[in-house]
Amino acid sequence: MFPLAKAQTIHHTLSVTLLPEQSHIIVVDQIQFPEGSAKNLSFKLRSSLSVEAKDAGLVMTGESAQGRLRHYRLNRLAQNSTVQVTYRGEIFSSQERQLFEMPESVLSREGVYLDGGSGWIPYFSHQSNITFDLTVKAPEGWEIISQGKRQTIDKSFRYEMPLPQDDIYLIGGLFKRYQKQFNDIEMEVYLLEDNQQLAENYLQATAQYLQFYSELIAPYPYAKFAVVENRWQTGYGMPSFTLLGSRVLRLPFILHSSLPHEILHNWWGNGVYIDFTQGNWSEGLTAYLSDHLIQEQRGKGRIYRRKALERYANFAAEEHDFALSEFRSRHNEASQAVGYSKSLMLFHMLRNLSGRETFKQNIKKLWQRYQFQKVNFPDVIRQLFTGNDLQYQLFVDQWLKKPGAPSLSLGETRITEDATGFHLQMTINQLQAGTPYVMHLPVDVELADRESLERRFITLTERQTLISLNFQQRPVSITVDPDYDVFRLLDGSEKPSSLGRLFGAKKQLLVLPTEVSQEQKKAWQQLAKQWSSRYNNIEIIDDINLSILPKDTAVWLLGWKNKALKTYQQRFTAAGQQVLGGEVQIHGQTLNASTHTAVLLDPDNSRTALAFIAAEQAQTIALLARKLPHYNSFGVLAFELPRVKNIIKSSLTPRVSPLKRNLSN
């Protein structure tokens, strides 16, 4: 079925004993190499494990730079290309933390987490794929999770994985397990504490999305899908399961955002594998067909895309930008803005170029052609692109290989009338540096005496493109790219005031209150420290020292007792919001300091970005420090005390776009 993959596949038959009290693991690994393999083979293994080989010679040849891995060579491999390797030793949770603050390996009384990064199985330098048959003897009461379908034999767990993989995961602990069938796929939920309702919600949503994506792409490729709770706040998608943090798992919107996203990764990333050499295509495609598609089905596609463009403009444009072909994985706001937001816009443009129906067919073909093989970004685009070779090359060059985004402005417009009708002429300018982009985009034209808009499609090729459109009635207004269908740099006036605009600013100035308790002061300083390590652009100043608002700097006024508040209070007043003494009014609700906390922004996005955090208890401030970075696209927030539960989140509206023009006079 996968002739190419099969030829390079290494098969592991693993028998694992876990002794978590001692953080000790024993593995007997029967390795079957492809026929005709070399007689000498090199591999790497975690250096805390000692290793022996049966039926072959074994020598240690070196160590990795940090001493975490040891390098070995197997000599005189037997005729049948099989060897039995036994390795054992301790798995300490090292201090090395990955994304989400999770240690790279765990083996303790609480549970086990091992993956490729832990170096817990031999990694052969020439290997491209692995298949496996894993049997794990675990402590009483533990559940064990890996790829594939769970079988239990005499208190042991067995996972057989015949599909080519690039890693073997070993996860376990004291979980409560819930199970249901969806056709022949087993759906599971593993929770750290019993919660029937939560599990039921996940099983139902899982069934819904397995069905949805099986129809959209191809039948779900694995025998099970499991949702596994994690003590660290991860959002990882592995083949046939997802590892979601305890807090993440309990957020109600995750059922229709992260869950479908992680399920979809079983096709993109964990089904079709990523050849990273020219960028990671899987996050953009997955986000496009999950997060974006779900919002689009709810009639919110336009807003979702505008937020994606906002994210890019706030966090990546200018100094933090890089070509999408350089994206490997998300590690900060800028990499998310390129690797997810720009990337999903690339797929959106591909869909607009080919049309929805053709795009759908091509998505199915992408899977049929590349399942369980590695594919690079240009080849993914080729499969979804419908133009000629030259157009394809141009598309790849301008969207994938170079950083940046086109920045558009509407130039002169002119209407003439003759016997044949009305003729609208307009110029559209590309303001960015470098070669102009070739791009196709819609223009909505409002006509006199007609209620609905007429949509036309135009192509830009030059720094200044002159467009002529003919109508039977007089055009009264035009809007270029009204639905944010192309990837471009939003104009400042198209970006509403939002928390993201502050976080992504060149500099953030935090104005600390001086006449408050030591405890409160400390809490604000701690917030400043946390944000500083995240955004790297923080400065602080005491409220008594703030004379004017500096230029090119986003300013946060912290705390109810902030002395600068009096001066700038008016700036937070707009339709639906107001700061008054010790109270904040939002959409007709009055919130006071003893029961609520809130964040208000100056809604005028042409001025210095200015925000006020209405809080005073140290505990509240600590929670806000963690929570606010997750509300990038919002401009008005309110939370209920003491748990700081969000009750209001709304976006402010941008001023009129420079790509919209009234033609009536």
Residues that bind Zn ion (CB under 5 A): 283, 286
User: Measured between alpha carbons, how far is 637 from 635 in angstroms, rounded to an integer?
Assistant: 7
Output 304 or 471, the one with its CB closest to Zn ion: 304
Residue with tokens 């559940």: 143
Least distance in Å: CB of 55 to Zn ion? 42
How far is the CA of 307 from the CAs of 220, 248, 532, 536, 656, in angstroms? Answer: 31, 21, 24, 23, 16
Output 286 or 430, the one with its CB closest to Zn ion: 286
Least distance in Å: CB of 96 to Zn ion? 22
Least distance in Å: CB of 237 to Zn ion? 6
DSSP-derived 3-state class of residue 544: helix
Least distance in Å: CB of 261 to Zn ion? 5
**Which two three-digit tokens encode residue 447?**
């006509």
DSSP-derived 3-state class of residue 26: strand
Least distance in Å: CB of 378 to Zn ion? 20
Ranges of beta strands (E only) in 192-290 are 224-230, 235-238, 241-245, 273-274
User: Measured between alpha carbons, how far is 389 from 568 in angstroms, rounded to an integer?
Assistant: 57
Q: Are strands 553-558 and 507-512 parallel, antiparallel or unpaired?
A: parallel
Centre a 10 Å sphere on the Cβ of residue 97 and count the other Cβ atoms it contains: 12
Output 33 or 327, the one with its CB closest to Zn ion: 327
Least distance in Å: CB of 244 to Zn ion? 12
Output 38 or 99, the one with its CB closest to Zn ion: 99
Looking at this protein, which amino acid is placed at residue 203?
L
User: Measured between alpha carbons, how far is 107 from 91 in angstroms, rounded to an integer?
Assistant: 6
Output 283 or 333, the one with its CB closest to Zn ion: 283
Least distance in Å: CB of 243 to Zn ion? 12
How far is the CA of 210 from the CAs of 21, 68, 182, 534, in angstroms? Answer: 38, 39, 8, 35
- Are the CB atoms for 558 and 524 separated by under 8 Å? yes
User: Measured between alpha carbons, how far is 521 from 428 in angstroms, rounded to an integer?
Assistant: 51
User: Measured between alpha carbons, how far is 431 from 425 in angstroms, rounded to an integer?
Assistant: 19
Q: Is 376 exposed, middle or buried (0-12, 13-18, 19+ CB in 10 A)?
A: middle
Output 283 or 494, the one with its CB closest to Zn ion: 283
Looking at this protein, which amino acid is placed at residue 538?
I
**CB-based contacts of 378: which residues, under 8 Å, 6+ apart?**
278, 396, 400
Output 23 or 290, the one with its CB closest to Zn ion: 290
Output 283 or 321, the one with its CB closest to Zn ion: 283
Least distance in Å: CB of 92 to Zn ion? 29
Output 284 or 496, the one with its CB closest to Zn ion: 284
**Order of strands, sheet of 185-191, starting from the edge strand that comes earlier in the sequence:** 176-182, 185-191, 224-230, 241-245, 235-238
DSSP-derived 3-state class of residue 5: helix
Least distance in Å: CB of 631 to Zn ion? 20
- Are the CB atoms for 49 and 72 separated by under 8 Å? no
Least distance in Å: CB of 289 to Zn ion? 11
Output 286 or 497, the one with its CB closest to Zn ion: 286
Containing H/E element for 281? none
Q: Which residues pair with 319 in a beta bridge?
A: none
Least distance in Å: CB of 264 to Zn ion? 8
Output 242 or 508, the one with its CB closest to Zn ion: 242
For 211-232, the three-class secondary structure string (H helix, E strand, C coil) is: HHHHHHCCCCCCCEEEEEEECC
Q: Which of 243, 286, 284 is nearest to 267 (CA)?
A: 286
Least distance in Å: CB of 133 to Zn ion? 28
Least distance in Å: CB of 330 to Zn ion? 8
